[in-house]
Every structure is written in structure tokens, then in C-alpha cells.
Amino acid sequence: MDADFAVDMSNIVRERRLGGDRPADLRRFIHLLKGLVAYTRDESLKVYGVADWSLLRNRDLTQDERDRLHRWRNAGLIEALDKADDRIIELADAGGQRVVCFDKYEDYHRDYPWIPGNRDRFLEPVLGPAGITVRPREMPISPDWRLSRKEEEGLLKSKGLHNGSRPRRELLSRLWVCEVPDCPMFGQDRGEQQPLPRHRSGAARCPSHGQPLTDIGPRPHRIQVKVRVRGRVATRFLIGPGETIHVGRAPGPGGFALTAALGVPEQSGLSRDHASLRWTGAKLFVTDHSRFGTRVRRGVAEPFPLTGGRSLPMRAGDDIILADGVELMLSGREFLFEDSPAAPTPPEVQAAEAARRTYLPEGRPDA
Ligand SMILES: [Zn+2]
């Protein structure tokens, strides 16, 4: 699974415009997570939090807040670095995460030409009547940058640095281990749940420890499917290469059950074994097994029916309508990697879940 957003935590926690009078307040980050869930209507949202080390030592935070940040960091839920900006842009570039921040990242415009003028990859938190929410922002284009762009590109090409995202994507297609015992991000037991390694001096390196990582083999490219029930993403599941997953009210062993617990209505028209998804590693097929049929929504056209056991190859961004109010969404971003020889699963840090576990159950903001 992969994160949907990369969040510059230091930026958020220190921003007084997000409420509270303290110079630094972890509640701003926690309220932002709730705001992102509301904005995306995605209960299963994943956030990759990146903080400067200085935030974890910040005396403007309470001891409890600092302890919490250290716990998240040690559990591999957030990443702490000397300089978070580099890392956030790296993640957005290779993994396709959207970025939540206040920064303009002007220093990065030359190396990452997709940033200037971008309208859909950056979000800015705002404090509204209902708490913290986010809104899309347009990244500035500096006249200076525009003028020198051609020249810069030539320079970068000659240094072999241009099109920097390619090696980063290749890093995502492998699994890595850090030799530091108990490394939170690249430890032995982390498995496939690992983030993007850094690429420095020709080697894949641990973002926490800076050491070269050991390549332990290819990372299976899994497809992420979101389950949307009555307009809200209730959960998501993964399909590995060569795997077939049946979905429905009671699809049987190995299937993915769409139950009342996910908000699926009793009389939804969903069959017990409604449809199956098969991921070959290169193409995803959906097959209908239902009584009332399945429909596929592609772009703005009217959804087209799939009935009587027919199969159809899916495209990035397709929605599969199983019944009224019960849909499967295929991440467009995941398909970004379709062409790579061994396509990756981008990193994830379940900070939103961490916040739910460690914070929300208490039912009150920490005092
Ligand atoms: Zn490490």
C-alpha cells in the first residue's frame, strides 16, 4: 500500500495560522489528518509524515508531544531527517504523493521542472469554521526560472543529473535492508512496508542512517483497490501479481467481503460473489459473476455494463460499479509505474492510523 500524501510536519506543527497560541502544537498535525480524511472522503487515507529532527527536540512542544513523535518515528510511522524538504520533494517525485505544506519549494524548481505552475500536487492547510481543512494551491513560476530553464536543462543533462526521477523509481522496484539493527524504516521485519530509499553517491541509502542499503530482491508490484461505499472510501485492499480476488457479499475464502461493517446496505443488489479482479503483473482484468451485472465508469462517459461472466482489461482511473453506492476505484497513481520492468509499490506510512490509535481514542486533545 502507499501513502496518498506527504506532509511536512514541522511546517504544520509550527504554523500559528492553524489555531492555538503555542509556537508549536502537535494538535495542528492531528487535526490536519482529520481534515484530510474529510477532504478526500477517504477513511482509509494514508499519510507519510516527514519531520525535521529539530521538531522532535522542540521545547515549544510538551514532553508528551515530543514522546509521541519519538514513538511514531521508532515505529517507522514518520520519518525524521536533518532536512525534510529534500525528502518531501523526492517522495512526491518518485512516489507521486501529493504534498501538504506552506512552502513554495523554489530551490527545487530547477531540478524538478514539474513543480512550477503545478496546480494539482500541492495542498495548503487552512483553518475553517469546522477545523483544519486543505485546499489545492498553484505553485508559483518565477520569471527568473522561466528564463534560465533551457540553459539549466542543458547543464543538468551534461552532468547526467537530468530526469532525476528515473533512478528513484527504480529504487522503488526493489526491497532493501539497512544494516543498523532495529532500523525503523528498513529493518529486517519491515518487509514490503518500506519507503523510498535515498539515492546518494550512486547508492541506495537509508534515509535515517545514511548507510548504503542491501538489495534483497524485487518488490512485487501490487495494485491497490479502494472500496467506495456511498461516496466515501471505506477501505482498500491489494492484489499481487498473478493473484485473483473475488469481491461480493460473501465471496468465500481468499475473497474480499463487502459487508454491512463497511456500510454496504443489506439490499444493495450485490451478489455473494459479485466480480473478480485478476492482476497479471502488467494488466488488471475485471470479470463479472453477478446476478444484476457490473458496470465500468471510464472518464466522463456513461458507465458501460459488464455482465454474464465477461472480462475486461482495466485502465488507470477506472471505477468499477458493483451496485448502487458500492464501487471499486483503481488508483491512477499506481498505474504510473505500469511500464517499468519491475514496477514498484510506493512507500507508505500510516500516520493517519497512528494518530487514530494513539490520539483519537482518548477522545480529547492532549492537554
Ligand atoms: Zn537505517
The per-residue pLDDT for range 169-192, each reduced to its tens digit, is: 678 788 999 999 889 889 887 777
| Residue, of 218 and 191, whose pLDDT is higher | 218
The confidence score (pLDDT) of residue 78 equals 93
The confidence score (pLDDT) of residue 144 equals 65
Instruction: Read off the pLDDT band of 238 (50, 70, 90).
Output: confident
Residues 27 and 142 in one domain: yes
Kindly give the distance from the C-alpha atom of residue 48 to the centroid of ligand 1, in angstroms, as a whole number. Answer: 17
- Residue 360 clears pLDDT 50, i.e. is over it: no
Kindly give the distance from the C-alpha atom of residue 234 to the centroid of ligand 1, in angstroms, as a whole number. Answer: 33
Range of the domain at 326: 223-337
Kindly give the distance from the C-alpha atom of residue 54 to the centroid of ligand 1, in angstroms, as a whole number. Answer: 19
Q: What is the pLDDT of residues 267-306, one digit of tens each?
A: 889 999 999 999 988 889 999 999 999 999 988 888 999 9
Task: Look at residue 86 and tell me if it is in a domain.
Answer: yes
The confidence score (pLDDT) of residue 318 equals 87
The confidence score (pLDDT) of residue 305 equals 93
Cβ-based burial of 320 (10 A; exposed 0-12, middle 13-18, buried ≥19) = buried
Nearest to 210 by CA among 221, 219, 199, 218: 199
Kindly give the distance from the C-alpha atom of residue 206 to the centroid of ligand 1, in angstroms, as a whole number. Answer: 5
> Which cell numbers hold the place of 350?
500510516
> How many distinct structural domains can be found in the chain?
3
- What's the pTM value of the predicted model, to 2 decimals? 0.74
Kindly give the distance from the C-alpha atom of residue 8 to the centroid of ligand 1, in angstroms, as a whole number. Answer: 21
Average pLDDT over residues 58-73: 96
Average pLDDT over residues 8-17: 95
Kindly give the distance from the C-alpha atom of residue 97 to the centroid of ligand 1, in angstroms, as a whole number. Answer: 22
Kindly give the distance from the C-alpha atom of residue 49 to the centroid of ligand 1, in angstroms, as a whole number. Answer: 17
| Residue, of 361 and 316, whose pLDDT is higher | 316
Task: Look at residue 13 and tell me if it is in a domain.
Answer: yes
Kindly give the distance from the C-alpha atom of residue 209 to the centroid of ligand 1, in angstroms, as a whole number. Answer: 5
Q: What is the pLDDT of residues 18-58, one digit of tens each?
A: 999 999 999 999 999 999 999 988 888 889 999 999 999 99
Q: How many other C-beta atoms lie within 10 A of the C-beta of residue 27?
A: 17
Task: Look at residue 297 and tell me if it is in a domain.
Answer: yes
Kindly give the distance from the C-alpha atom of residue 165 to the centroid of ligand 1, in angstroms, as a whole number. Answer: 22
Average pLDDT for the chain? 82
Residues 126 and 81 in one domain: yes
Task: Look at residue 165 and tell me if it is in a domain.
Answer: no
**Element housing 237 (H / E):** strand 232-239
Which residues neighbour 31 within 8 Å (Cβ) at sequence distance 6 or greater? Answer: 18, 19, 131, 132
| Distance, C-alpha 184 to centroid of its chain | 18
| Distance, C-alpha 265 to centroid of its chain | 29
The confidence score (pLDDT) of residue 292 equals 92
Q: What is the pLDDT of residues 132-171, one digit of tens each?
A: 999 999 998 877 655 555 555 555 554 444 444 556 667 8
Task: Look at residue 162 and tell me if it is in a domain.
Answer: no
The confidence score (pLDDT) of residue 154 equals 54
Task: Look at residue 298 and tell me if it is in a domain.
Answer: yes
- Residue 352 clears pLDDT 90, i.e. is over it: no
Kindly give the distance from the C-alpha atom of residue 190 to the centroid of ligand 1, in angstroms, as a whole number. Answer: 11
| Residue, of 94 and 272, whose pLDDT is higher | 272
- Residue 80 clears pLDDT 90, i.e. is over it: yes
| Distance, C-alpha 234 to centroid of its chain | 16
Kindly give the distance from the C-alpha atom of residue 170 to the centroid of ligand 1, in angstroms, as a whole number. Answer: 19
Average pLDDT over residues 211-215: 93
> Which cell numbers hold the place of 96?
507521486
Residues 48 and 99 in one domain: yes
Q: Say what percent of the chain tops pLDDT 90.
A: 47
Kindly give the distance from the C-alpha atom of residue 353 to the centroid of ligand 1, in angstroms, as a whole number. Answer: 23
Kindly give the distance from the C-alpha atom of residue 186 to the centroid of ligand 1, in angstroms, as a whole number. Answer: 6
Q: What is the pLDDT of residues 306-315, one digit of tens each?
A: 988 889 998 8
Residues 274 and 197 in one domain: no
Residues 146 and 201 in one domain: no
Residues 136 and 28 in one domain: yes
Given its phi and psi angles, is residue 226 left (phi above 0), alpha (psi -120 to 50 degrees) or beta? beta
- Cβ(328)–Cβ(223) under 8 Å? no
Task: Look at residue 166 and tell me if it is in a domain.
Answer: no
- Per-residue HEC secondary structure of 120-165 comes to CCEEEEEEECCEEEEEECCCCCCHHHHHHHHHHHHHHHHCCCCCCH
The confidence score (pLDDT) of residue 149 equals 58
